[in-house]
Amino acid sequence: MAELRLLLVRHGESEANHERRMQGRLDSPLTQRGRRQAGAIATRIAAMGQLDALYASPLRRAFDTARAIAAATSVAPISLPALMETNIGRATGISWDDFAARWPQHASDIRRGTEHASWPYGESRRQLGERAAHVIDDIVARHPEPCTIAVVSHGGTLRWVVANLMAGTPLAHPDHRFDNCAVTEVVLGHGAPLIACANDATHLAEIEQEEAYADQVP
């Protein structure tokens, strides 16, 4: 395989993120902070060199983040429904504490990462893992030539994407962290896959500094 750089990006902060509600397929828009984060990751990716393709979940918080990247790189985003976040069923839109109180066994299984863990009337851990594997395998198969691809999705889905990409290595697990608009770069094509950077949010430092300063101003 020719060298393939995959830039994996979680969407910017959404309204539900800010309200600490679980989203799943809830189509929550970006907050003002999330839009600034999207602009920052767009500038970061544009500075990393030529971008050859851009894929995104169709949910607004992800696709609007991808639109910001598109504006900075002149690469139109391609919507892939398989990149959507986990279907969390009846837990959609509520807090984790409310979920754990209503469905304690589901919550316990999910927290422990058991193989049969599932959301009430939603996806199971296994179903999400299989979906993420299929979509990233399809993206990789579309690009046999040396290139750089950005994928904008969601924390749950991206964790399994990385697990699949790192198959056969100690990093083939779904516990990788994805903060809002952080980037994880995975490089394929030189033997074992390589994580060049993980959950890198250094491009968001200015936003965080400004917020910290604003909190200190009386």
Comparing 16-25, 108-117, 129-138, the range with the smallest average pLDDT is: 108-117
Q: Catalogue the active-site residues.
A: 11, 85
* Straight-line distance from the first to the last Cα atom of the chain, in angstroms, rounded to the nearest whole number: 57
* pLDDT in the model for residue 191: 81
Q: Is 184 among the domain residues?
A: yes
Using one digit for the tens of pLDDT, what is the confidence trace for 180-205?
A: 999 999 999 878 899 999 999 999 99
Q: Is 67 among the domain residues?
A: yes
* pLDDT in the model for residue 217: 54
Written in H, E and C, the secondary structure of 182-203 is CEEEEEECCCCCEEEEEEECHH
Residues forming beta bridges with residue 151, ordered by sequence position: 8, 55
| 216 pLDDT tier (thresholds 50, 70, 90) | low
CATH code for the domain of 211: 3.40.50.1240
Q: What order of strands is seen across the sheet that includes strand 77-79?
A: 77-79, 53-56, 147-153, 4-10, 183-188, 194-200
Whether 189 contacts 3, CB under 8 Å: yes
Q: Is 105 among the domain residues?
A: no
Q: Is 182 among the domain residues?
A: yes
Distance, in Å, from the CA atom of 85 to the CA atom of 81, rounded to the nearest integer, reads 9
Using one digit for the tens of pLDDT, what is the confidence trace for 54-109?
A: 999 999 999 999 999 999 999 999 999 999 999 999 999 999 999 999 999 999 99
**DSSP-derived pairing of the beta strands 77-79 and 147-153:** unpaired
Domain membership of residue 58 as a residue range = 4-88+124-216
Q: Is 77 among the domain residues?
A: yes
Name the burial class of residue 160, with classes exposed (0-12), middle (13-18) and buried (19+) by CB atoms within 10 angstroms of its CB: buried
Q: Is 37 among the domain residues?
A: yes
Q: Is 96 among the domain residues?
A: no
Q: Give the total number of structural domains in the chain.
A: 1
Q: Is 103 among the domain residues?
A: no
